[in-house]
Amino acid sequence: MKIGFIGLGNMGAPMAANLAAAGHLVTGFDVQAPCPEGVTSAPSAAQAASDAEVVITMLPNGDILRKVADELIPAMSSGAVLLDCSTVDVESARAVATQAQEAGCLAADAPVSGGIGGAAAGTLTFMAGGTNMAFAKVAPLFDVMGQKAVHCGPSGNGQAAKICNNMILGVTMIGTCEAFALADKLGLDRQKMFDVVSTSSGYSWTMNAYCPAPGVGPQSPADNDYTPGFAADLMLKDLRLSQQAATAVDADTPMGEAATALYEIFVENEDGAGKDFSAMLPRFVSRRRS
Protein backbone atom coordinates (compact mmCIF):
# COMPACT_ATOMS: atom_id res chain seq x y z
CA MET A 1 0.00 0.00 0.00
CA LYS A 2 0.93 3.64 -0.40
CA ILE A 3 0.79 5.06 3.13
CA GLY A 4 1.15 8.58 4.48
CA PHE A 5 2.24 8.70 8.12
CA ILE A 6 1.86 11.91 10.12
CA GLY A 7 3.49 12.04 13.57
CA LEU A 8 6.84 10.24 13.86
CA GLY A 9 7.51 10.50 17.57
CA ASN A 10 8.27 7.70 20.03
CA MET A 11 5.25 5.68 18.91
CA GLY A 12 4.78 6.75 15.30
CA ALA A 13 8.38 6.23 14.16
CA PRO A 14 8.62 2.50 14.94
CA MET A 15 5.11 1.91 13.61
CA ALA A 16 6.01 3.59 10.31
CA ALA A 17 9.32 1.73 10.17
CA ASN A 18 7.56 -1.62 10.61
CA LEU A 19 5.18 -0.81 7.76
CA ALA A 20 8.10 0.12 5.50
CA ALA A 21 10.00 -3.03 6.47
CA ALA A 22 6.93 -5.08 5.50
CA GLY A 23 7.13 -3.67 1.98
CA HIS A 24 4.63 -0.81 2.12
CA LEU A 25 5.52 2.51 0.48
CA VAL A 26 5.52 4.89 3.44
CA THR A 27 5.87 8.66 3.18
CA GLY A 28 6.14 10.47 6.49
CA PHE A 29 5.95 13.93 8.01
CA ASP A 30 6.62 15.33 11.46
CA VAL A 31 7.20 18.93 12.53
CA GLN A 32 10.29 17.91 14.53
CA ALA A 33 11.21 14.24 14.39
CA PRO A 34 13.16 12.76 11.45
CA CYS A 35 11.78 9.94 9.32
CA PRO A 36 12.89 6.47 10.39
CA GLU A 37 14.75 4.13 8.08
CA GLY A 38 12.72 3.09 5.05
CA VAL A 39 10.29 6.01 5.26
CA THR A 40 10.42 8.77 2.63
CA SER A 41 10.27 12.30 4.04
CA ALA A 42 7.62 14.74 2.78
CA PRO A 43 7.84 18.54 3.19
CA SER A 44 4.30 18.78 4.58
CA ALA A 45 1.49 16.68 6.00
CA ALA A 46 -0.64 17.34 2.92
CA GLN A 47 2.09 16.07 0.59
CA ALA A 48 2.55 12.94 2.69
CA ALA A 49 -1.18 12.31 2.32
CA SER A 50 -1.37 13.00 -1.40
CA ASP A 51 -2.12 9.84 -3.43
CA ALA A 52 -1.92 7.64 -0.31
CA GLU A 53 -4.38 4.78 0.08
CA VAL A 54 -4.19 5.09 3.87
CA VAL A 55 -3.11 8.12 5.91
CA ILE A 56 -2.11 7.29 9.50
CA THR A 57 -1.90 9.93 12.21
CA MET A 58 -0.24 9.57 15.61
CA LEU A 59 -0.67 12.94 17.34
CA PRO A 60 -0.64 14.35 20.90
CA ASN A 61 -4.24 15.49 21.37
CA GLY A 62 -7.60 16.22 19.79
CA ASP A 63 -6.94 19.88 19.03
CA ILE A 64 -3.83 19.01 17.02
CA LEU A 65 -5.68 16.18 15.28
CA ARG A 66 -8.42 18.58 14.15
CA LYS A 67 -5.87 21.08 12.82
CA VAL A 68 -3.90 18.40 10.97
CA ALA A 69 -7.13 16.92 9.57
CA ASP A 70 -7.99 20.32 8.08
CA GLU A 71 -4.75 20.11 6.13
CA LEU A 72 -4.82 16.40 5.31
CA ILE A 73 -8.35 15.69 4.22
CA PRO A 74 -8.47 18.09 1.23
CA ALA A 75 -5.26 16.46 -0.05
CA MET A 76 -6.53 12.89 0.28
CA SER A 77 -7.85 10.84 -2.62
CA SER A 78 -11.50 9.82 -2.71
CA GLY A 79 -11.89 6.44 -1.01
CA ALA A 80 -8.66 6.72 0.96
CA VAL A 81 -8.74 5.92 4.69
CA LEU A 82 -7.78 8.34 7.45
CA LEU A 83 -6.58 6.05 10.25
CA ASP A 84 -6.00 7.96 13.47
CA CYS A 85 -3.99 6.00 16.03
CA SER A 86 -3.70 8.89 18.50
CA THR A 87 -5.40 8.82 21.89
CA VAL A 88 -7.79 11.79 21.79
CA ASP A 89 -11.22 12.77 23.06
CA VAL A 90 -14.20 10.94 21.59
CA GLU A 91 -15.75 14.15 20.25
CA SER A 92 -12.65 15.03 18.21
CA ALA A 93 -12.43 11.49 16.82
CA ARG A 94 -16.04 11.61 15.68
CA ALA A 95 -15.76 15.14 14.28
CA VAL A 96 -12.72 14.24 12.18
CA ALA A 97 -14.39 11.04 10.96
CA THR A 98 -17.43 13.03 9.82
CA GLN A 99 -15.17 15.56 8.09
CA ALA A 100 -13.36 12.76 6.23
CA GLN A 101 -16.57 11.05 5.19
CA GLU A 102 -18.05 14.29 3.88
CA ALA A 103 -14.94 14.63 1.69
CA GLY A 104 -15.46 11.16 0.21
CA CYS A 105 -12.90 9.39 2.37
CA LEU A 106 -13.17 6.59 4.92
CA ALA A 107 -12.15 7.03 8.56
CA ALA A 108 -11.17 4.89 11.51
CA ASP A 109 -9.99 5.79 15.01
CA ALA A 110 -7.67 3.13 16.40
CA PRO A 111 -5.78 4.10 19.56
CA VAL A 112 -3.23 1.58 20.75
CA SER A 113 -2.14 -0.28 23.84
CA GLY A 114 1.36 -1.66 24.26
CA GLY A 115 3.60 1.38 24.61
CA ILE A 116 6.90 2.14 22.90
CA GLY A 117 8.10 -1.45 23.27
CA GLY A 118 4.97 -2.77 21.57
CA ALA A 119 5.32 -0.23 18.77
CA ALA A 120 8.90 -1.32 18.11
CA ALA A 121 8.13 -5.03 18.33
CA GLY A 122 4.96 -4.81 16.27
CA THR A 123 2.86 -6.22 19.11
CA LEU A 124 0.40 -3.38 19.73
CA THR A 125 -3.31 -3.89 20.39
CA PHE A 126 -5.61 -1.65 18.36
CA MET A 127 -9.09 -0.61 19.51
CA ALA A 128 -10.82 0.51 16.33
CA GLY A 129 -13.91 2.55 15.59
CA GLY A 130 -15.34 3.19 12.12
CA THR A 131 -17.29 1.50 9.35
CA ASN A 132 -16.80 -2.14 8.41
CA MET A 133 -15.37 -0.99 5.07
CA ALA A 134 -12.77 1.24 6.71
CA PHE A 135 -11.76 -1.47 9.18
CA ALA A 136 -11.42 -4.09 6.45
CA LYS A 137 -9.18 -1.84 4.36
CA VAL A 138 -6.70 -1.16 7.17
CA ALA A 139 -6.83 -4.61 8.80
CA PRO A 140 -3.67 -5.81 6.97
CA LEU A 141 -1.77 -2.87 8.46
CA PHE A 142 -2.89 -3.81 11.97
CA ASP A 143 -1.37 -7.24 11.34
CA VAL A 144 2.01 -5.58 10.64
CA MET A 145 1.97 -3.06 13.50
CA GLY A 146 0.31 -5.19 16.16
CA GLN A 147 -0.82 -8.54 17.44
CA LYS A 148 -4.52 -7.81 17.83
CA ALA A 149 -7.16 -5.41 16.53
CA VAL A 150 -10.73 -5.25 17.82
CA HIS A 151 -13.43 -3.48 15.83
CA CYS A 152 -15.40 -1.76 18.59
CA GLY A 153 -18.17 -0.22 16.49
CA PRO A 154 -18.75 3.13 14.78
CA SER A 155 -16.39 6.11 14.76
CA GLY A 156 -15.27 7.19 18.23
CA ASN A 157 -15.75 3.76 19.78
CA GLY A 158 -12.05 2.98 19.54
CA GLN A 159 -11.34 6.01 21.70
CA ALA A 160 -14.17 5.02 24.03
CA ALA A 161 -12.65 1.57 24.51
CA LYS A 162 -9.18 3.03 25.15
CA ILE A 163 -10.27 5.51 27.82
CA CYS A 164 -12.51 2.98 29.58
CA ASN A 165 -9.65 0.47 29.65
CA ASN A 166 -7.18 3.02 30.98
CA MET A 167 -9.60 4.32 33.58
CA ILE A 168 -9.70 0.76 34.94
CA LEU A 169 -5.90 0.60 34.73
CA GLY A 170 -5.40 3.88 36.63
CA VAL A 171 -7.89 2.97 39.35
CA THR A 172 -6.44 -0.52 39.73
CA MET A 173 -2.85 0.69 39.97
CA ILE A 174 -3.78 3.08 42.77
CA GLY A 175 -5.52 0.27 44.64
CA THR A 176 -2.52 -2.02 44.17
CA CYS A 177 -0.10 0.64 45.43
CA GLU A 178 -2.30 1.45 48.42
CA ALA A 179 -2.45 -2.24 49.34
CA PHE A 180 1.35 -2.65 49.23
CA ALA A 181 1.81 0.48 51.35
CA LEU A 182 -0.70 -0.84 53.87
CA ALA A 183 0.98 -4.25 53.90
CA ASP A 184 4.32 -2.58 54.68
CA LYS A 185 2.88 -0.79 57.68
CA LEU A 186 1.19 -3.97 58.89
CA GLY A 187 4.50 -5.84 58.73
CA LEU A 188 3.51 -8.09 55.82
CA ASP A 189 6.40 -9.01 53.54
CA ARG A 190 5.87 -7.75 49.98
CA GLN A 191 6.73 -11.09 48.39
CA LYS A 192 4.26 -12.89 50.67
CA MET A 193 1.67 -10.26 49.77
CA PHE A 194 2.30 -10.89 46.06
CA ASP A 195 2.18 -14.67 46.50
CA VAL A 196 -1.25 -14.43 48.08
CA VAL A 197 -2.87 -11.69 46.00
CA SER A 198 -1.55 -12.85 42.62
CA THR A 199 -3.27 -16.21 43.07
CA SER A 200 -6.47 -15.11 44.77
CA SER A 201 -9.33 -12.66 44.34
CA GLY A 202 -7.02 -9.62 44.28
CA TYR A 203 -5.51 -10.83 41.00
CA SER A 204 -5.08 -8.01 38.47
CA TRP A 205 -2.82 -6.98 35.61
CA THR A 206 -1.24 -4.29 37.78
CA MET A 207 -0.34 -6.89 40.40
CA ASN A 208 0.53 -9.93 38.29
CA ALA A 209 2.13 -8.45 35.16
CA TYR A 210 3.23 -4.92 36.17
CA CYS A 211 3.84 -5.13 39.91
CA PRO A 212 4.72 -1.68 41.36
CA ALA A 213 6.94 -3.20 44.07
CA PRO A 214 10.64 -3.57 43.08
CA GLY A 215 11.94 -7.13 43.14
CA VAL A 216 8.49 -8.66 43.30
CA GLY A 217 6.80 -10.47 40.43
CA PRO A 218 7.91 -10.24 36.79
CA GLN A 219 10.35 -7.54 35.67
CA SER A 220 8.61 -4.16 35.56
CA PRO A 221 9.50 -0.42 35.58
CA ALA A 222 9.64 -0.64 39.38
CA ASP A 223 12.86 -2.64 38.91
CA ASN A 224 14.37 0.19 36.86
CA ASP A 225 13.77 3.07 39.29
CA TYR A 226 10.32 3.63 37.74
CA THR A 227 11.68 4.64 34.34
CA PRO A 228 8.47 4.85 32.33
CA GLY A 229 6.97 1.99 30.46
CA PHE A 230 3.76 4.01 30.65
CA ALA A 231 4.38 7.48 32.05
CA ALA A 232 2.27 8.95 34.83
CA ASP A 233 1.83 12.02 32.61
CA LEU A 234 0.15 9.85 29.95
CA MET A 235 -2.04 8.14 32.53
CA LEU A 236 -3.17 11.57 33.68
CA LYS A 237 -3.98 12.52 30.07
CA ASP A 238 -6.10 9.38 29.60
CA LEU A 239 -7.87 9.79 32.93
CA ARG A 240 -8.74 13.37 32.04
CA LEU A 241 -10.16 12.12 28.73
CA SER A 242 -12.26 9.60 30.64
CA GLN A 243 -13.69 12.33 32.85
CA GLN A 244 -14.31 14.62 29.88
CA ALA A 245 -16.27 11.79 28.26
CA ALA A 246 -18.11 11.02 31.50
CA THR A 247 -19.21 14.64 31.79
CA ALA A 248 -20.37 14.68 28.17
CA VAL A 249 -22.67 11.67 28.63
CA ASP A 250 -23.56 12.24 32.32
CA ALA A 251 -21.88 9.04 33.54
CA ASP A 252 -21.15 8.63 37.26
CA THR A 253 -17.47 7.62 37.61
CA PRO A 254 -16.42 8.44 41.19
CA MET A 255 -13.43 6.09 41.17
CA GLY A 256 -12.25 7.48 37.84
CA GLU A 257 -12.68 10.98 39.21
CA ALA A 258 -10.69 10.14 42.33
CA ALA A 259 -7.91 8.50 40.30
CA THR A 260 -7.71 11.57 38.07
CA ALA A 261 -7.37 13.84 41.09
CA LEU A 262 -4.62 11.67 42.62
CA TYR A 263 -2.59 11.53 39.39
CA GLU A 264 -2.99 15.31 39.01
CA ILE A 265 -1.44 15.81 42.44
CA PHE A 266 1.27 13.23 41.74
CA VAL A 267 2.29 14.65 38.35
CA GLU A 268 1.76 18.36 38.85
CA ASN A 269 2.50 18.96 42.53
CA GLU A 270 4.79 16.10 43.57
CA ASP A 271 7.58 14.24 41.75
CA GLY A 272 5.53 12.05 39.41
CA ALA A 273 6.29 13.85 36.15
CA GLY A 274 8.56 11.72 33.99
CA LYS A 275 8.09 8.60 36.10
CA ASP A 276 6.15 5.44 35.42
CA PHE A 277 2.54 5.47 36.56
CA SER A 278 3.37 2.68 39.03
CA ALA A 279 5.62 5.12 40.95
CA MET A 280 2.49 5.82 42.98
CA LEU A 281 3.79 3.10 45.35
CA PRO A 282 6.66 5.08 46.96
CA ARG A 283 4.26 8.03 47.12
CA PHE A 284 1.82 6.09 49.29
CA VAL A 285 4.60 4.48 51.35
CA SER A 286 5.88 7.93 52.36
CA ARG A 287 2.46 9.32 53.26
CA ARG A 288 0.42 9.14 56.46
CA ARG A 289 -3.33 8.94 56.83
CA SER A 290 -4.65 12.49 57.06
Q: Which of 88, 129, 82, 126 is nearest to 101 (CA)?
A: 82
Query: Is 192 noted as a catalytic residue in this protein?
Result: no
Could you give the CA distance from residue 65 to residue 95 in angstroms, rounded to a whole number? 10
Q: Which of 2, 137, 148, 162 is catalytic?
A: 162
Q: 267 burial class (0-12, 13-18, 19+ CB within 10 angstroms)?
A: buried
Listed in sequence order, the residues at least 6 apart from 128 whose beta carbon sits closer than 8 Å to its beta carbon are 108, 109, 110, 135, 138, 142, 149, 150, 151, 152, 157, 158
Decide: 155 and 94 in contact? Cβ < 8 Å. yes
How many angstroms separate the CA atoms of 275 and 267, rounded? 9
8 A C-beta contact, residue 111 and residue 159? yes
Q: Which residues are catalytic?
A: 162
